[in-house]
Chain A
Amino acid sequence: MAPTTHTELPEELASFIKDWRDRPGNLIMILHRVQQHYGYLPELVADEVCRRTSIAASQLYGVATFYNYFNLSPPGKHRVAVCMGTACYLKGAGALTEELRNHLNVEVNGVTQDKQFSLQEVRCVGCCGLAPVVMVDDEVHGKLGPEGVQALLDKCQEND
């Protein structure tokens, strides 16, 4: 049985869900859209998605936890992702992660206390030629050494 309580959804999301409601295999596409909107998958919104579609809540949860891309808790304002693909790894991505952890004082997959940054490791962003690579939000920063980390973070906050 679908949950009975309602959660208001933004118009754009609601119409996306309506569009996809009867399309087979819709779940992952809908989750992408929810995450695009909220930055993560809020529990109540997930329930609402199930209510509006015929997706079983357990399936949603199973899927949301299976795929690395989906977050179940709010990310930081800026998403800092260190590429841990092979090329970057060989070129010292490990040290970069280390440096970022120290700078931000946060573990991988964590969010800084001030909610400004979340730190992640990702697998190959497809810029291996620029290894090692760090992505900040949608921007790729290549050939980055540990010494460049501070400047990178500063720049990020300047732009705010």
Chain B
Amino acid sequence: MINLRIDGIPVEVAPGATVLDAALAAGVDVPRLCAHEDLSPSGGCRMCMVEVDGTSGLQPSCTLEARDGMDVATETDPIVAHRKITLDGFVSDHPLDCVTCEKAGACELQKYCYRYDISGTTMGFDLQRTMVQDDNPAFLRDHKYCILCGRCVRVCEEIVGAKAIQFADRGSSTYVATTFDRPLEESTCVFCGSCVEVCPTAALLPKSSIGKGREWELGRQRSVCSYCGVGCRLEYRTRTVTGLNGPRTEIVRAEGFPEAPVNGSFLCSKGRYGWDYAAHPNRLTKPLIRKDLAYEMGLTDEPWDVPDQSPLKAKPAVAREGFVETDWETALSVVADRLARAAETYGPGAVAGLASARCSNEDNYVFQKMMRGAVGTNNVDHCARLCHASTVAGLARAFGSGAMTNSIREIRHADCIFITGSNTSEAHPVIGYEVMRAVRDGASLIVVDPRRIPITEHATLHLQAKSGTDIWIFMAMMRVIRDENLADEEFITQRTEGFPAFAAGLDDITVEEAARQSGVSEDKIRTAARIYAGGIRQEGESRYPEVREAGRGRSTILYAMGITQRSNGTELVLTLANLSMLCGQIGKPSTGVNPLRGQGNVQGACDLGALPNVYPGYQKVDDPAIRSRIADLWSVPADDLDERPGLTVVEMMHSVLDDTVKAMIFMGENPMISDPNGAHVEEALRHVGFLAVADIFLTETAQLAHVVLPATSAMEKVGTFTNTERRVQLGSSVIEPPGEARPDWQFIGEIGRRVAERLGRTSLRWEWDDAAAVMEEIAAVAPIYGGVRHSRAAGDGVNWPCPDLDHPGTPILHVGEFKRGKGAFHAVTPKAPAELPDEEYPFVLSTGRMLYHYHTGTMSRRSEVLDWKQKRGYVEVNTADAEKLGVTDGEPLVIESRRGKIRTAARVGTVVPPGMVFVPFHFREAAANLLTQDENLDPTAKIPELKMCAVRVTNPAVQSA
């Protein structure tokens, strides 16, 4: 450690820290305009200059490395004089419009002008930049306020990796530009707003808050982003507006904040701009009853039939006409009545429910309690089935726990990052930032993905394996590692079992065959193996001193749907687990096998038992001891609890058509668009005897429901969300719910109470004062959440397992010992995807995500900025195929599988290789899931193979001609 003094205050910092770091550590607020804690130093603003005893003159503290024994003065007369004249210079080229300026109060330039008493320039006012660029709905670029600190340029390159902007020209003409000054939309900008966040002045302003109040008038409410599993914390800035119904809170913008445990100041476009859906006029405000049922109940006198037209095609306004509004009492009674009636008539197994990864832990806990306790069935599942079911199955077998083994912030210190089947920069952008930091620091990055996804631009190696052939690469890598003695023998002997059988299986794998199967050169496969096994960096030294002795750097595996949504998904997950254990790359900081969980609370929904085989805390339903413990806690007879695992998502749909499931309740799921083989889903949902849907919008699924319950969105309720690194974080209520919308846990609890009463299970408790009380019950039921409380989930949150209140939480799993004792190797043999292209359907279709939209689009497509950025769906097609098909960018293509067909615009390029097309599944008008298969599930995890099926691609213009 380095010891020095700042203004006489002794302070200790790590080697490599700057004098500015040391000053801040000592609590000395050295003025700075270009420095930013997350960015490389620039040294351009000259505000942070200090005096160092024994050297002459002033030196910028932000670039000066702290050294032992330094004695630094930060505020002497010469320094003050220097800062005054520097600010004098700044404001000679900057309008001091503070009176009307949007940034006033949060402006760093203003702050220092105040501190050093500068109210104007002595140098003659002479504005060099006057351009105002108002070319997008996200933020305004007003160059006259720009002080050229360069933070925006650096954040865009260093953290985001987008490189959308750069300085142009030079000297006093310098300005921040997009390429050829084109509109931001035509640049590589990903609209993350990070530049706006770090801008010290009013040069970059979020458009949503312009004119909505001064800095000091706006409220602040910290919460958790309601989109993906990264679980960014953010701060909503709000104001109060008074309307017809009295005062209400309005969000004016979202910001990151430095202390946010995962994301710091940074967010992606969805977190930054995607919050306005909550205030969208289409929000559900009252319970709805479908007109045919309403007629039956005498709520309307007009008879009505469900229209034949698919909800995928219906206009939202028209869709509303199929419903009548009702009050909560009526709605809850009818739902409870129908569920109970089905259970009574056909047995509890005739009822099935989907919980939600969009809803809080409390919501999910209550939902599964309602299904298990009140109805008496384990038929509860949720979208995790379509997502990381194979992870849960695979990692549980290999390690004993199916979650990310390490925490997100460890990624930045990894020596090698191995990404496969994860489009990190689009689906988990803030984890992408973490990867960018590591790469900038010299880590190597290996990507195995059939598409040239954005992160490959930063990759050391991109192994562009043909769709479905990645397993060959992983196996061949392990063969290389074994043959070249790169394995960690010590780790294997001490920490694992099953190695001999697994190793023998490698004899059948050759690098030659893997190269032939995957189309990736042998050389690349070998190099990837060596880099991963050795944790070999591109540049620089590892952060971990032990690494230098051990001679093996730290490698971490990140993966997602490209691995899991496969008919052999579980085996693929086991393979990645094998790879990590083979090299001892697990159980240490910055290593591990890290499934990037998708939904904001998919981890939590799984944790809390929204799965057909486990109670909260992954306690098996078929274990009698556990069943009786839960029964005790819920005060029900153990026999009332179903002892067999229930149905999974896809099985539920099949069972409806088999007439074994009669009534359903969905909370926050939109299977009409998200489940495979959409036509089949629609058939099932039209067929089912009763369907209740709780949502925040009248989704395509809700349109088929008998009763629609208006839920509060994440923006309107208190509850906890567990992110992909198992961090339980508290979300807060920011705005008032629209109309009569209620938190899910409340009305699901109400339904539970009513069903339970009907079925005579009256001992069950449903009364909680608030969500915090639900958490208390969760803590009692789920040992891994034993120490979780709302008080602890606020702030930095807590990572489970956290068995009791004194436990600090567990950021890294399997240190010293695997959850299951020894890590288990599993012998796996490569398998091809189930539906391969053939003459009739010659293309491979892959489906997935794009940056700006989220799943079924209910929220992101109702967000102004996100919708502006991507209005319509598309199909990625390779340039060569496009040429053959005779289409150019933007022209329509028809994609047809054995199950359905869609028409959408071609996006021509080289993201997909020839022979492959990719369709994002967010767009109902070109719903990818009309094409996907609901057969050929992974035998263990029952996950459908959403990442590949065979399709035919045609050009409608050519057909008609």
Contacts and interface: CB of A to CB of B under 8 A. Distances in A.
Nearest to A51: B910
Contacts of A58: 163-166, 177-179, 187-188
A62 B909 contact: no
A7 interface: no
Contacts of B879: 4
Contacts of A16: none
Chain B contact surface mostly: mixed
Contacts of A151: none
Contact of A4 (B170, B180, B889): B889
Nearest to A54: B457
- Most B C-beta atoms less than 10 A away, residue of A56, A57, A58, A66: A58
A38 interface: no
B188 A65 contact: no
Given A62-B168, A65-B170, A56 B188 contact: yes
B169 interface: yes
A54 B166 CA distance: 16
B163 A56 contact: yes
A49 to B, nearest CB: 12
B163 A65 contact: no
B455 to A, nearest CB: 11
Contact of B454 (A1, A54, A57): A1
Contacts of A54: 457
Ranked 10 nearest A-B pairs via Cβ: A62-B166, A56-B163, A58-B166, A57-B179, A65-B168, A61-B179, A4-B909, A65-B169, A66-B170, A58-B179
Interface of B: 157, 163-170, 177-180, 187-188, 454, 457, 879, 889, 908-910
B852 to A, nearest CB: 14
Contacts, number: 52
B188 A61 contact: no
A61 B909 CA distance: 23
Nearest to B178: A58
B188 A1 contact: yes
Nearest to A59: B166
A61 B168 contact: yes
Contacts of A60: 179
Interface in A29-88: 43, 46, 54, 56-62, 65-66, 72
B155 to A, nearest CB: 13
Nearest to B190: A1
A43 B186 CA distance: 14
A56 B187 CA distance: 10
8 contacts: A4-B889, A46-B180, A54-B457, A57-B188, A58-B165, A60-B179, A65-B169, A65-B177
Contacts of B180: 43, 46, 61, 72
Contacts of A72: 180
A72 B178 CA distance: 15
| Interface size grouping (class) on chain A | 10 to 19
A25 B179 CA distance: 19
Given A1-B454, A4-B889, A4-B908, A57 B187 contact: yes
A54 B180 CA distance: 18
A46 B182 CA distance: 14
A27 B910 CA distance: 23
B422 to A, nearest CB: 18
A98 B175 CA distance: 30
A56 B166 CA distance: 10
Given A4-B908, A4-B909, A61 B166 contact: yes
Contacts of B169: 65-66
Contacts of A66: 167-170
Interface of A: 1, 4-5, 43, 46, 54, 56-62, 65-66, 72
A125 to B, nearest CB: 21
A62 B167 contact: yes
A68 to B, nearest CB: 9
A59 B167 CA distance: 8
Nearest to B161: A56
A43 B178 CA distance: 13
Nearest to B177: A61
Contacts of A5: 889
A74 to B, nearest CB: 15
Contacts of A65: 168-170, 177
Nearest to A1: B188
B743 to A, nearest CB: 41
A43 B168 CA distance: 15
B21 to A, nearest CB: 29
A65 B178 CA distance: 12
B163 A59 contact: yes
A34 to B, nearest CB: 14
A59 B889 CA distance: 26
Contacts of B166: 56, 58-59, 61-62
Contacts of B178: 58, 61
Given A54-B457, A58-B165, A65-B170, 12 more contacts: A4-B889, A46-B179, A56-B188, A57-B163, A57-B187, A58-B166, A61-B166, A62-B166, A62-B168, A65-B168, A65-B169, A66-B167
A66 B168 CA distance: 6
Contacts of B910: 4
Nearest to B175: A65
A112 B889 CA distance: 39
Contacts of B164: 58
A43 B182 CA distance: 11
Contacts of B157: 56
A72 B177 CA distance: 15
B164 to A, nearest CB: 6
A56 B156 CA distance: 12
Nearest to A60: B179
A126 to B, nearest CB: 23
Contacts of A56: 157, 163, 166, 188
A59 B179 CA distance: 8
Contacts of A62: 166-168, 177
B150 to A, nearest CB: 11
Contacts of A43: 180
B279 to A, nearest CB: 32
Nearest to B163: A56
A28 to B, nearest CB: 14
- Most A C-beta atoms less than 10 A away, residue of B164, B165, B179: B179
A37 B165 CA distance: 27
Nearest to B169: A65
A66 B171 CA distance: 9
A56 B160 CA distance: 14
A67 to B, nearest CB: 9
Nearest to A5: B889
Contacts of B889: 4-5
B842 to A, nearest CB: 23
Contacts of B167: 62, 66
A22 B807 CA distance: 51
Nearest to A55: B163
B744 to A, nearest CB: 39
Contacts of A57: 163, 179, 187-188
Contacts of B457: 1, 54
A69 to B, nearest CB: 13
Contacts of A46: 179-180
A70 to B, nearest CB: 12
Nearest to A65: B168
A15 to B, nearest CB: 21
A58 B195 CA distance: 15
Contacts of A4: 879, 889, 908-910
A71 to B, nearest CB: 14
Nearest to A63: B166
A7 to B, nearest CB: 14
A18 B527 CA distance: 24
Nearest to B173: A65
A58 B157 CA distance: 10
